[in-house]
Amino acid sequence: MQAQVHGCTDPGNTVKENQDTFLAIRHNTHVALAVFDGHGKSHGKLAAETAKAFFEHKFQQDHTYEELRIDGEATLRLLFDECHATIRQAFQAYYERRRLHAEERNGGYLVVKQGILQKSLLVQGGTTASIVVVLDSGATMLCANVGDSSSLLCVPSPLDASWSSLQASSVLHLLRKHNTLPPVAVPVELPESTSVVQLCGDHSPECMTEFQRTALARSVSTKHGNMPELLFVYDSLIDGHSNQRVSVREKHIALEKSPVFTVVNDVVAKAGEGSYYKNVRQEWASLCCTPAKAKYHESLAFTRSLGDFYIHSFGLTHQPDVIQVDVAALMRQEAWTTVLVVVGSDGIWDAWDYAAFNQVLWKAMVDHKSALPLVADDVMQQNKQVSAQVFGPAVDNMTLVVCSLTMNGSSSS
């Protein structure tokens, strides 16, 4: 199988720092592509760049691919473990260069003091990570993710792309060898006939699997049983009174009135609807927030990430969902000669219905005769235009990596 890969990134808004970064690597008969979307004013960019440098180094070594062949799940989980620790070390080194000490506290988070009489400041920052590795010219594709940077397999004709259907035909496998590992957060199923296959777990605060997993990690006892200490809430626009600025703690207290989940007849269920949509697919904006009594206050729009050490102490995790797709077998089964793998940050996916994105992508393939650099740049320019129309000045950083896989002897043009 022949492979091309190309990535590009854009700040979206020229006044914003671009905290996104990506990988697009070809190594012998393998391809690795990844997107990292940093968050946190202090160290979001450092977290994303550290993750990129870590995985870039690993995916340029023969033995990484040998280990992925032997046990893809264990290898990817170990890499995420090591990367998470490397980000902590990068944060500590950042302060050491400034002759400050980042002290690790119980729970694994870091604080720093800039003076003897000053309060300890929480070290903040983290990144999403969505990684796809195509092994041995497409024989196997491994996907691992934390956060909301998603991956799609875009295909030329519709199919039943539900994970249950693909598992039944033995082309998709959820990799979780041990019950001690987080359960795979299966994404909301797309319509039965679709031209995209989701390659990532659902790490939204609206995901029931993630709500239950977090409760097991750190809970509070209620009359309805153990519930997550972390708040799973719908985001809303909260204004201060008398032109006073609303603190993060005050916002979290207000958001407690908008829970994502509630208990009805002793059964945990979705509470209802949010305040506003976060994307054009009409998915509600939701957050995981530290409780009001927490010493520090943080929130994230997803349940897994690299870094973010303080909010992780409340039950979030850096452990990825890992799946395997036998992409060559799927292509033979569906009689496809070419498929496209796309990894993108939420600055891409928030602006599109997946079906519309798939059409734009394949049209760009035709228009540019399958030249991946031109295809990726074309899609990026269209995304900038659509995002500006939808989000205005609130447009986010945007990053995508496109990989084309074409059966030998076929033309993708």
- Measuring CA to CA, which residue among 9, 11, 47, 22 is closest to residue 131? 22
pLDDT means per 10 residues in the chain (413 residues)? 95 92 97 98 96 99 97 98 98 95 93 81 97 94 97 96 93 91 88 89 96 91 84 80 61 79 87 91 95 91 98 96 96 96 97 96 98 97 96 95 90 52
pTM of the model: 0.94
Res 53: pLDDT: 99
- The residue extents of the domains of the chain are 2-202+320-406, 208-301
- Separation between Cα atoms, residue 328 and residue 407, nearest integer Å: 8
Res 367: pLDDT: 98
Question: Which strands make up the sheet holding 150-159, listed edge to edge?
Answer: 2-10, 398-406, 338-344, 150-159, 194-198
Torsion, Cα 383 154 176 21, to 10 degrees, reads: -30
For every residue of 132-198, DSSP letters joined together read EEEEGGGTEEEEEEESS-EEEEEEEEEE---HHHHHHTTSEEE----TTSPPP-PPPPPPSSEEEEE
Fold classification of 2-202+320-406 (topology level)? Phosphatase 2c; domain 1 (3.60.40)
b or e along 139-152 (b: 16 or more beta carbons within 10 Å of the residue's beta carbon)?
ebbbbbbbbbbbbb
